[in-house]
Amino acid sequence: MKKNPVRRIALFLTAFAAIITATVWGIRYYTAYFSANVKVEHGQAYLYIPGDATFEQVLDSLRTMRVLRNEARFMQVAQWKKYPETIRPGRYKLTNGMNNRLLVNKLIAGLQEPLRLTISGNIRSNERLSAVLARYVEADSAGILAVLRDTALVSTYGFKPATVMGLFIPNTYEVYWTITPTALLQRMHKEYDSFWNAQRREKASTLGMSQQEVSTLASIVYEESLKNDEMPRIAGVYINRLKKKIPLQADPTLKYAAGDFTLKRVLDVHKFIDSPYNTYKYRGLPPGPICIPPPVAIDAVLNCEQHDYLYFCAKPDFSGYHNFSKTLTQHNQYADEYRRALNRNGIYR
């Protein structure tokens, strides 16, 4: 029996069409998955996806960034891999030449890139600390501040809202953008425990001070002088005054009580401010640190100089260093020299 030539041709054409279709789809599939589809000018860019983001919002962010060469191909791969159903928040690094397969797999897996969070020693309030932290993480400053003010929460780490700044040790840390305020506090406590090793704890105990008291005093020392080599001597003065129950009379605490760290000259009127941070009016340490003290200031307290000085005053040459005195008479002479220098330079407040 002879085979029907028409049928043979039809089968051939059908098979040929199937091969062509498969080839076209194969090319389309390969192109969509593996062709470079991310373009960034400087080699990398970061995509931020909030916790409540939808697929459309992710697309809007990518459009705003102008990083996709072909949006349709990205959408194809995203749909094929069911990404719209698995949106994960985070900060994702996009590199130049990345293909859709790598991009979508990264987003589905939530493989976000950590960032470097830097805490410095010039932060003087919980409000300012919250604002600084909010620059780095998804949480806003109000949410972070609420955690710092949560008495029950911070007490689990042995702190109060007035002392919680001391929990933060100035340094640069790697964290994820999505870290919650509570998790961030927990992370900082871990770093705090690491910093306060057995040696530092022993030195604090020898001084008869708690870790928080050391941090509070260190914050005053840091505000008094940015000269690292002088900090242990200044710390020694304050330790001597504490032992003798003499008011600290620290000018930076008056600036803190006045809420004005721009003051270049502390006046007698500032000494009457009714605040627990006014160390002219109240003896002992203030309720908490007046800034976040850096390690150098904390170590200056722990390794304070052993001497008999009870007073110090800024030198009239404005070098940033101080004259130290054992007697009030000598101190008043240095203070008069400094006041005259302020007057000569027209510094009245």
Q: Which parts of 244-329 are beta strand (E)?
A: 311-314, 322-325
Query: Which numeric CATH code is attached to 30-109?
Result: 3.30.1490.480
- pLDDT number for residue 9: 62
pLDDT recorded at residue 346: 82
Per the rule left: phi > 0, alpha: psi between -120 and 50, beta: everything else, 243 is alpha
pLDDT at residue 33 in the model = 72
With residue 46 as reference, give the H or E element that holds it.
Answer: strand 44-49
Cα–Cα distance measured from residue 258 to residue 210, given in angstroms and rounded to the nearest whole number: 27
Q: Which of 163, 120, 129, 180 is nearest to 286 (CA)?
A: 163
Helices (H), the chain: 5-34, 55-65, 71-80, 100-109, 126-134, 141-148, 151-155, 181-195, 198-207, 211-224, 231-243, 251-258, 295-302, 328-344
Q: Are 303 and 281 in contact (CB under 8 A)?
A: no
The pLDDT value given to residue 260: 86
Distances in Å between the Cα of 79 and the Cα atoms of 27, 82, 85, 109, 179 are: 18, 5, 9, 15, 28
Tell me which amino acid residue 237 is.
Answer: V
Distance of CA 131 to CAs 120, 137, 138, 143, Å? 13, 10, 12, 10
- The pLDDT assigned to 22 comes to 47
Name the token pair of 1.
């029996």
Look at residue 24 in the predicted model and tell me its pLDDT.
Answer: 45
One-letter amino acid at 62 equals L
Taking the domains of the chain in order of start, what are their residue ranges?
30-109, 115-195, 198-344
pTM to 2 decimal places? 0.86
Residue ranges for the chain with pLDDT beneath 50: 1, 22, 24
pLDDT of residue 2: 52
Q: Which of 193, 197, 176 is nearest to 91 (CA)?
A: 176
pLDDT of residue 42: 81
